[in-house]
Chain A
């Protein structure tokens, strides 16, 4: 999808903004990530307002209305858009509840990942030498660890808690930043304007802040947008194997795991949260690709 996007982005604007409405709409859809943004907007909206606008409570259900298929009515005449689960909880309301968990966990893990990863990457690339060697080795080691097993070990040692899972996810996030940011800084460091600043007597701190950091912000944003999808997948996987969020909290991974036993009779228990994860991850991917083409086309290689 990247080549087309770039081609579209590079084409002069006059071709698209004219013509009959369907054509114009198609042009906008191809050129801007409209659908992903709409999906992500719904996600953010449910995360913030979910508890207030969801039609039913997330953690209590009507046992008489258990395992209702999507688009059906309960005994009291209540409508369930996506059906109900094995204890009669409304799947749609639980999905909305899960949005908050997914989003907040991804956001926290990502912010820790960005700050630690970018700092280490900048330090490593800028100062070089022994510091660089140690940091690069740390990243290598981290890449060699099987993250799911580490997550299992950690939950088993420190108990199943939110903090543990956030730590694991932040640990997944940071290493990717270090490598790419470091490579970027290695390039920036050799730029003439950095030399000029140095000759003018600027301190390391000033060079870092004024000349290096502004140059890597785009890259950091792009890596962040590309890695959120992965983090959400990782969160769902951890919750699925029981090392993450614990039931009855409606994380999407937990919902899939709960629904597993009912696969034969009630496909929507696995299907709905599965599709929710899929749409969010894909939207983030498209948005990430678009941002990358816009902000930092040289990063093309890393997908």
Chain B
């Protein structure tokens, strides 16, 4: 319950910050009319302001906006006469698909590399896995994305360089997913490796080995299960944090997701309802996942009691 409360406080706080920021910006009315108010009388100008609610004090505007949000209405775009929910709804699918693709890649690569590196510690495998992880940590997503395009799309011509066709086609998903998932896989690999090394050193693994359980079962069943507790949480949080990364990937690959939309339509067109809606959705996704991560952590590891370890 306490956890729920803090999540809600975070949503409110974050939206207040963003709302205030957006309203410090230039008057959105200038979107329709040039600064001089050309072709529009003073009265029409004020009427437009009234219609959009700009003439009320900021806290009132915020509460109005919040009230609509609670009813599931994100408002109407200023630049396009469409609902914000409609705009975001049309785009979020692509972003989620991208995030899932990247997540699958990150989890598969991160876990296998982590386990391999831990089990074969000090061998070529270990160094190879850590080398890949280092590249993932140090190379910004926009550079690795471009390198991938250069190698696989331009030189080898195996995969398309970007965009997303309306029909599902796995080839279009590979490069963006890899570019998005790599840094995450690197972090995950380090976590898995560390906790796997800890677990492999423990008594019950030695017991299992001594009993004659075969090596593969020991590693993938006994050890992995216990060493996944910490990485599991970060796997979920990862998903949430990715929306930042997804924006860059979407730009590079021309992917029609919400990050791309937010960047090019809202910011350049001063379309604050869309911007605010996007940020709101991002925050909501982040908090949902970090909340879920806490709950799952508690289920997986019963030793954790949230009340005691709040923060």
- Which residue of chain B lies nearest to A132 when distances are taken between CB atoms in the complex? B311
User: Is the Cβ of A154 less than 8 Å from the Cβ of B17?
Assistant: no
A127 on interface, CB distance cutoff 8 Å: no
Cβ–Cβ contact B134 & A270, under 8 A: no
- Whether, in the assembled complex, A141 has its beta carbon less than 8 Å from a beta carbon of chain B, the answer is yes
Bound Cα distance A271, B65 (Å)? 46
Q: How far is the CA of A271 from the CA of B139 in the complex (A)?
A: 11
CB of A108 within 8 Å of the partner chain: no
Contacts of A146 in B (CB 8 A): 243-244, 279, 282-283, 286
In the complex, what distance in Å separates the CA atom of A146 from the CA atom of B275?
12
Question: Which of B14, B138, B286 is the one whose CB lies under 8 Å from A278?
Answer: B138
Q: How far is the CA of A256 from the CA of B144 in the complex (A)?
A: 11
Q: With A and B bound together, what is the CA distance between A121 and B262 in angstroms?
A: 34
Specify which of A136, A140, A153 is in contact with B18 (CB 8 Å cutoff). A153
- Considering only CB atoms, which chain B residue lies closest to A281 in the complex? B138
In the complex, which residues 18-53 of chain B have their Cβ closer than 8 Å to any Cβ of chain A?
18, 21-22, 24-26
Judged by DSSP, the binding face of B is helix
Contact mask A44-65 → B, CB, 8 Å, 1/0?
0000000000000000000000
> Looking at the complex, which one of A145, A271, A278, A303 makes contact with B17 (CB distance below 8 Å)?
A145
Across the interface, do A285 and B138 meet the contact criterion of CB distance under 8 Å?
yes
Cβ-based interface call for A277 (8 A): yes
The interface-forming segment of B3-11, B104-112, B174-182, B208-216 is: B3-11
A264: interface (CB < 8 Å): yes
Interface of A, secondary structure class, is: helix
Contact-residue size bin, chain A (C-beta under 8 Å from the other chain): 35 or more
Find A144's partner among B11, B135, B139 (CB 8 Å cutoff).
B11
Q: For window 261-311 of chain B, which residues contact chain A by CB distance below 8 Å?
A: 262-263, 267, 270, 275, 278-279, 282-283, 286-287, 290, 311
Cβ-closest chain B residue relative to A182: B311
Contact A148 B244 (CB under 8 A): yes
Contacts of A4 in B (CB 8 A): 122
Given contacts A1-B130, A145-B14, A274-B143, contact A281 B137 (CB under 8 A): yes
User: In the complex where A137-B6, A152-B267 touch, is A237 in contact with B138 (Cβ < 8 A)?
Assistant: no
Contact among B154, B187, B197 with A264 in the assembled complex (CB-CB below 8 Å): B154
Complex contacts, A236 vs chain B, CB 8 Å: 140, 142
CA distance A51 to B259 in the complex (A): 38
Per a CB cutoff under 8 Å, which of A2, A157, A229 touches B21? A157
User: Is A202's beta carbon under 8 Å from chain B?
Assistant: no
User: Using Cβ atoms and an 8 Å threshold, which residues of chain A touch B89?
Assistant: none
Whether the Cβ atoms of B248 and A241 lie closer than 8 Å is: yes
A267 lies within 8 A of chain B by Cβ: yes
Known: A3-B197, A270-B146. A157 touches B140 (CB 8 A): no
0/1 interface trace, chain B 238-264, chain A, CB 8 Å (1 if under): 000001100110011000000100110
A136 touches B134 (CB 8 A): no
Query: Which residues of chain A are near B282, meaning CB under 8 Å?
Result: 146, 149
Which B residues contact A (CB, under 8 angstroms)? 6, 9-11, 13-14, 17-18, 21-22, 24-26, 122, 130, 134-135, 137-143, 146-147, 149-150, 154, 187, 190, 194, 197, 243-244, 247-248, 251-252, 259, 262-263, 267, 270, 275, 278-279, 282-283, 286-287, 290, 311
Query: Which residues of A does B touch, CB under 8 Å?
Result: 1-4, 136-138, 140-141, 143-150, 152-154, 156-158, 229, 233, 236-237, 240-241, 253, 256, 260, 263-264, 267, 270-271, 273-274, 277-279, 281-282, 285, 300, 303
26 contacts between A and B (CB under 8 A): A1-B130, A2-B194, A3-B194, A3-B197, A137-B9, A141-B9, A141-B13, A144-B283, A145-B14, A146-B282, A148-B248, A153-B25, A157-B25, A240-B142, A241-B247, A260-B146, A263-B146, A263-B150, A270-B150, A274-B140, A277-B143, A278-B139, A281-B137, A281-B138, A282-B137, A300-B194
